[in-house]
Amino acid sequence: MKGWGTALLKDLKSRGYVDINGVLFPPSSKEAKSIISKPKKRTKTLKTGDTDDTRNIKNKLKYCDSFIQFIKQELGIELWPEFYFCTERQFRIDYAIPQYKIAIEQEGGIYMKGNSGHSSGTGIARDMEKNNLLVSKGWKLIRRQPNEMLTLDTIELIRPLIDL
C-alpha cells in the first residue's frame, strides 16, 4: 500500500501538481500558479560594437550624467556612455559619438600614488592596447582629465571633428 501512494504522488508531481503544506494542487489552480514561476525569457545579446549593440543601448538608457547633458546642450549631439566599440575585445570607451567615430576618455586617477587601475603597468598597457585598437578602427581619441570635462576647451576639441 505504501509503495502505491508514493508512485501516485510521484506521478502527480511529474504532471505539474504542486505540494503546498501537504496538499496537492493541480497546475491550473490559482494556488499552484502563485507558486510556479515561469523562467525568465533570456534575450539574445547582440554584440556588434555599434549603436545597435544591446550592451550599448543598455548603457545609453542607464547613464545620463552632467557631461552627457553638457555636450547635448552645447553641440546638440548625443553621447553614448560606456560604449563597446568592437567585438574582438570587451573594451569600452567612456563616452562615444559613434556617427563621427569620436572617443572621449576621462583619465581618472592619474595623480594617484601606487598601482591603481589605469596607473599600474598592467593598466597602462591595457589602455595603450585599447587606444591603438580605437585608432586602427578609424576612431579619433580625445583624452581629458576629470576637471577638464565640463569646459569649453573640451567643446573646442570636439567641434572641428564633427564639422568635417
Does residue 42 sit within a domain? no
Number of domains in the chain: 2
Does residue 49 sit within a domain? no
**In a shared domain, residues 79 and 16:** no
**In a shared domain, residues 28 and 59:** no
135 and 101 in contact (C-beta within 8 Å)?
Answer: no
Instruction: Indicate the average pLDDT of the chain.
Output: 87
**In a shared domain, residues 79 and 154:** yes
Half-sphere exposure of 81 (CA within 13 A, CB side): 15
pLDDT per position as a tens digit, 24-41: 888 888 877 777 655 666
Does residue 44 sit within a domain? no
**In a shared domain, residues 106 and 155:** yes
**In a shared domain, residues 15 and 74:** no
**In a shared domain, residues 120 and 83:** yes
Domain containing 146 equals 54-162
Summarize the confidence of residues 62-83 as an average pLDDT. 96
- Find the CATH number of the domain harbouring 87: 3.40.960.10
**In a shared domain, residues 152 and 93:** yes
Does residue 117 sit within a domain? yes
**In a shared domain, residues 82 and 14:** no
Least confident of 31-35, 40-44, 80-84: 40-44
**In a shared domain, residues 74 and 138:** yes
Q: How far is CA 154 from CA 69, 71, 101, 127, 163, in A?
A: 14, 9, 16, 21, 15
**In a shared domain, residues 87 and 152:** yes
Does residue 41 sit within a domain? no
**In a shared domain, residues 59 and 103:** yes
pLDDT per position as a tens digit, 117-156: 666 788 889 999 999 999 999 999 999 999 999 999 999 9
**In a shared domain, residues 60 and 138:** yes
pTM (global) more than 0.95: no
